[in-house]
Amino acid sequence: MTNQTMYELGNQPSLIRELFAYGLAQAKVVGPENVFDYTLGNPSIPTPDAVTQAIKDILDDTDSIKIHGYSMAGGFDGTREAIAANLNERYGTDIKASNLFITCGAAPALISVIKGLAVEGAEIMAIAPFFPEYRPFVNNNGAKLVVVPADREHFQIDLAKVEELMTPNTQAIIINSPNNPSGVVYTKETLTALAELLTKKGEEYGHPIYIIADEPYRELVYGGVEVPFIPNIYKNTIVCYSWSKSLSLPGERIGYFLVPDACENAQEVFLAASGAARVNGHVCAPTLPQMVIERCVGEMPNLQAYDDNRTLLYDSLTAMGYRCAKPDGAFYLFVEVPGGDDFGFCMKAKEEHNLLVVPGTGFDCPGYMRLSYCVSNEMIRRSLPAFEKMIADLK
């Protein structure tokens, strides 16, 4: 006998992983140059040289017992101080090391915060389209996911829908900007209006409604677009961050949650999320990456390769007649599927062209497909005739 919910989660195939595996198998049959894989969000630009150098330096200049030992559950003081100083310099905040808890990436940070906030009957909102893992993260950690339908015009936030779906049980809303899968950055106007709504409803319900800001793509923006720091707009914001994408370190598993002092019940929220981390088996984040972050927290990625891919893909697809919200950040394009049948389109693309794209249904937004453009520019060029043929067949 096993827990059926867990069994089903473990047994449920991930379409993204299946498509990726299909691509690997097909590459052996038709040659890797004839497979166009837009499935995974695995960074394709190398980690900055400063990070590689820091790893070498730490191995040379630090006691190996420290490098491979445990740290405090919330992370090394030095790492947290460096992160706090970096945030304060960039956003004019007053964050302290004690507001930060270092985690094994954004996913465990989210789970800790969600579980920590999950009072009896708690509802947590997510705005479509969203990272599919929010569903198991919320629904299996003591809360219920409430989905706000997508604003299909601009992929900002449909505030009327948010208000309509709120109840006295609404405990938090997850905001992911730059967004996976749309690539859209929520504007300051959108976030300010959301903050006003949450303040109003919080007063009406007699408890704060928290924003959980999921920000692994914070630094991945193009053309100088601003990504507002949400705690500066809404005080009840808890940030979940990761260096998986910004420093191309997804395998190192390093991120944090941040509960600023200004947050209502900050200390209680911080401790509840820390307790939730403990229950989920968190002992400490890996120590070598913590030391690397202490030395490299100010490093910024060189985004030129992603930006070139974004421009090539967006310009080429829109010229063919595809419609797509302008992506200002992350490394995804969320494209309207001609005819609206996202599964049909993705299966035909796979079977006829070895073109692997992910149906929008998985992101709670049917009728679209997600393309991860953290791939080679050359692959994009080679894939364009397949996109052309797909849209021609549907005309």
Q: Looking at residue 263, what DSSP letter applies?
A: S
CA–CA separation, 135 vs 207, rounded Å?
24
Give the residue, chosen from 255, 289, 329, 338, that forms a contact with ligand PLP under the rule CB under 6 A: 255
Binder among 214, 252, 299, 342 for ligand PLP (CB under 6 A): 214
User: Is residue 129 close enough to count as binding ligand PLP by CB under 6 A?
Assistant: no
The owner of tokens 């899968």 is 181
216 is a site residue for ligand PLP (CB under 6 A):
yes
Q: Which of 93, 176, 182, 190 binds ligand PLP (CB under 6 A)?
A: 176
How many residues bind to ligand PLP according to rule CB under 6 A?
A: 13
CA distance 238 to 262: 10
| Closest distance to ligand PLP from the beta carbon of 180 (Å) | 4
Torsion sign, CA atoms 262, 164, 173, 170: positive
- Residue closest to 132 by CA, chosen among 258, 8, 15: 15
Mention every residue, 6+ apart, whose C-beta is less than 8 A from residue 362.
15, 16, 132
Binding segment toward ligand PLP, per CB under 6 A, in 78-86, 143-151, 242-250, 293-301: 242-250
Interacting span for ligand PLP (CB under 6 A) from 67-75, 102-110, 261-269, 347-355: 102-110
Q: What is the three-class DSSP state of 5?
A: helix
User: Would you count residue 75 as binding ligand PLP (CB under 6 A)?
Assistant: no
Q: Could you say whether residue 256 binds ligand PLP (CB under 6 A)?
A: no
Binding status of residue 131 toward ligand PLP by CB under 6 A: yes
Judged by CB under 6 A, the stretch of 43-51, 94-102, 105-113, 387-395 that binds ligand PLP is 105-113
CB of 242 to ligand PLP, least distance (A): 3
Q: Is 334 in the site for ligand PLP (CB under 6 A)?
A: no
For the chain, where are the E strands, in sequence order?
Answer: 36-37, 100-103, 123-127, 144-148, 170-176, 210-214, 237-242, 255-258, 332-336, 355-356, 358-359, 368-372
Residues that bind ligand PLP (CB under 6 A): 41, 105-107, 131, 176, 180, 214, 216, 242, 244, 250, 255
